[in-house]
Structure 1
Amino acid sequence: MGLAVPGLFATAVLPAYATTADEPGDKSAVRVVEHKPQTLDVSEATLASISATDRDGYSITLPPPPPPVVTRAATPGAAKSGMSVGQALANPPYPNFSLDSVVAVAQQYIGVPYRFGGADPSGFDCSGLVMYVYAQHGISLPHSVRAQASLGTRISREDARPGDIVVLGDLSHNGIWLGNGMILDAPYAGKTVTSRPLWTDNYFIIRVGI
């Protein structure tokens, strides 16, 4: 038996069993007759009008709540125009150097495309990205993984801090260390500047600027 009432619906399940006389007019014996559960759809307003006593013996199922809305932060996007390395060194926009600032500045270029030999926001290669980020802090680095690796101080992994420079052991690649096994780098042609897990254990950390 179904009765549909517009609005927010709940389901009331009627008792599954009832009794009936064995023969018409015979009240001395009864037998149990099994009935299939029936549901009755009623509106929220109707439920509110039913007293607690009336609800005894009923199973009331309210509709599930809607799923939560998940929002995601916008992903930094395409290439940005900006100053050259020389201009950054001549007038550093972040003259008060800190490793935290290095990370914050590097993250501005997530999404910039890889470009071989690139060292500005129109495109970066790996050492070009490192050079450009440090130049904005007034620190001059050469445009070469090998040359950058020879500068500064090599420090233990335990002492590494986000903003240090991570260099692969074969001197083929480098990037900005983010901690927790993560690197921010310009990977290779066809990719963009990104943060990602470091994929090898063959690396070391150098620190410049402090």
Structure 2
Amino acid sequence: MALSGTPDSEENPANPNIGSTGTSSDVVTRRSLRPAATRSAQLSNRSHAAAVSPTASSSSPRSAAPKARKKKSGIINIAVMTLAVGLVGTMALPAYAFNPKSADSAQGASAAASLKKAHPQALAVSSEVAAASVTRDAVSATTEEELATRKAETARQQAAVQLASYAKAYSGPSVSDFLANPPYPSFSLAQVFSVAQKYIGTPYVYGGATPAGFDCSGYVMFVYAQFGISMPHSSTAQGNMGTRISIKDAVPGDLVIMPGHDGFYAGNGNIMDAPKPGGYVSIRPIWTSNYYIVRIGI
């Protein structure tokens, strides 16, 4: 029989919680304490859950997730509805919103209404200004006849000036000198044309009949005087002196006669003449069909 108080004895089990004075009913093992601890923890958890308010319990992760999804879905729906309303409103804008003329008309009407409401304004004009008379300048028209007369007078004055300077510029023999003592007593059209060519470049002078200046008939008269042939100082009279011949029979030295003008035929449809004021003796094409040929000396 084992002694009382020895290890592993049924009377003295190996339990530090048992005193030497404890009875068998006071002995509690670790295994027996486990169920009691479990129930105590469960009761504590239930009491804590009951003490928590409903608001706190609703904010738990499981309950907050569905509510967050619902809130996000609601925001999206509101945004979609706002966009739809904006599109419908834009499409429903009245036509005048895009018509600048309508807007201008509306502004004009508003301005007119403002003017109607404004107080009338008065403008004072002095009696001197009101009584001033209006005068107009007298306008007179110049007739064509008056213009022609003025033009002729201007030409005459210019010719007189030129003739005065022309008379001083030449001191050689005159037409009358040549007729008294012709340098070319033998007459030929070829020689007439050759003498006439010497004066190419002589300036035109109205009434001129010397190398200082020629007009058309003065040129012809001066050349033919050197052959002892006296001619009037007029293109028409010179044309009446000679004999008309066919244009195809004309040779250089014959006379080309046209209304108010004449000169020497230069061959190939050309004329050698003193043309007009500002011009010079030259050879140029005949510019008109209204002419005829006259030969002198036959």
Q: Name the SS for the 2:203 alignment partner.
A: coil
Shift of 1:80: 7.1
- String of CA shifts for 1:144-181, please: whole Å, max 9, x gaps: 0111111110111111111000011xx21100001101
Q: Per-residue displacement from partner, 1:54-82 (whole Å, max 9, x unpaired)?
A: xxxxxxxxxxxxxxxxxxxxxxxxx8763
Would you tell me which structure has more strand in proportion to its own residues? 1
* 2:276 matched residue in structure 1: 188
- 1:199 alignment partner AA: W
Match in the other structure for 2:221 = 131
The structure 1 residue matched to 2:260, chosen from 159, 172, 177, is 172
Q: CA deviation at 1:209?
A: 1.7
**Where do 4+ consecutive residues of structure 1 move more than 2 Å?**
79-82
Answer yes or no: is the 8 Å Cα contact 1:81–1:122 preserved in 2.
Answer: no
Structure number with larger C-alpha Rg:
2
Give the match for residue 76 of structure 1.
none
Choose the corresponding residue for 2:212, options 118, 122, 125: 122
Distance in 2 separating the partners of 1:197 and 1:104: 19
Name the CA distance, whole Å, in 1 between partners of 2:270 and 2:211.
Answer: 22
Count of aligned pairs: 130
Match status 1:204 vs 2:295: no
Q: Which of 169, 176, 183 is matched with 1:86 structurally?
A: 176
5+ unaligned residues in a row in structure 1: which ranges?
A: 1-78
5+ residue gaps in structure 2? Answer: 1-168
Q: Distance in 2 between matches of 1:81 and 1:128?
A: 17
- Aligned equivalents of 2:173, 2:274: Cα separation in 1: 19
C-alpha RMSD over aligned residues: 1.3
- Counterpart code for 1:159: D
Alignment pair present for 1:162 and 2:162: no
RCO higher in structure (CA 8 A, sep ≥6): 1
Q: % of aligned pairs identical?
A: 62
Q: Which TM-score applies when normalising by structure 1?
A: 0.60
Q: Is the 8 A contact 1:127 1:175 kept in 2?
A: yes
- Distance in 2, Cα, partners of 1:120 & 1:126: 11
Q: 1:196 to 1:82 in 2, by over 3 A?
A: farther
What is the match of residue 110 of structure 1? 200
> Which residue does 1:47 correspond to in 2?
none
Equivalent position amino acid for 2:178 in 1: A
